[in-house]
Amino acid sequence: MRLSLAIMALALSGAQAFAADTVLEKFVGSWIGHGKYWSSPDAKPELVYCKIANTLADGGNSLEQQGRCAVASHSGPVKGLIKASGAGVYVGSLESISTAGPARLVGKGAVARIDFHADFIDRLSRLPTQAVITLLAGDGKYRLVSNPLGPDGEPLFVTTDIVFTPLATTPH
C-alpha cells in the first residue's frame, strides 16, 4: 500500500513538473506587432512593426521567440527565451533591434503579466544599460513596454510600446 501511494505521489509530482506554465501560454502564437519606439526622451516617436512567433518548449516551461522588428532607420531579428523557474520567477534572454547581443532577463510574473529587469549593451550607445520590460496579455493580444533605468534604478522614459495581435491565417 505504501509503495503504491509513493508511486502515485511521484506520478502526480511528475505530472505537475511537466505542466505548461499558464503565464507563458498566454504569449504563444504568431503575432504582428505595431507600436512606437523612442530613441531618447526628446525624440519623436518612430513607428515600429514586428512579426514574432512564440512557441512553448521544455515541456511548456519555456517560451521561445523568433521574429523580426523594424523602425524606419533599421531592422533586425528578435530572438528570445523565457523560462519559468517556479514561484512566479522567470529568467531568459532577448536579442532585439535595441540590443548589441542578448539582454539578460530576470523577472516576476503572475496571471497574464511578467515584469523583467533587463541588463544589456545598448545598440546605439554601446553602453551597459538596464531596463524594465513588461509583457502584459489580455483580450487575445499582448503588449510589450520597455523603460530604461536611470542610475537610481527608476524608469527614465518609455522606449518601446508595442501591441501584438494574432497573425491572421489564410483559409484553405
Burial bucket for residue 105 (CB in 10 Å: 0-12, 13-18, 19+): buried
**Per-residue pLDDT, 29:** 97
The whole-angstrom separation of Cα 25 and Cα 13 is 20
Q: What percent of the chain shows pLDDT beyond 90?
A: 80
Tens of pLDDT, residue by residue over 30-53, are: 999 999 999 889 999 999 999 999
Q: Contacts from 103-111 at CB under 8 Å and sequence distance 24+? A: 103/131, 103/133, 105/80, 105/133, 107/133, 109/23, 109/135, 110/23, 111/23
For 87-159, strand residue ranges (E) read 89-95, 103-110, 113-121, 128-138, 141-148
Q: Please determine, for residue 108, whether its predicted confidence score (pLDDT) is greater than 60.
A: yes
Question: 10 Å Cβ neighbour count for 58?
Answer: 15
Cα distances (angstroms) measured from residue 9 to each of 6, 19, 85, 87:
5, 16, 22, 20
Residue identified by cell 524608469 is 155
Q: What percent of the chain shows pLDDT beyond 70?
A: 87
Please name each of the domains of the chain with its CATH number: 21-166 (2.40.128.20)
| Single pTM value for the model | 0.85
**Per-residue pLDDT, 4:** 35
Least confident of 6-10, 60-64, 118-122, 131-135: 6-10
Tens of pLDDT, residue by residue over 49-98, are: 999 999 999 999 999 999 999 999 889 999 999 999 999 999 999 999 99
What does the DSSP 8-state code read for residue 28? -
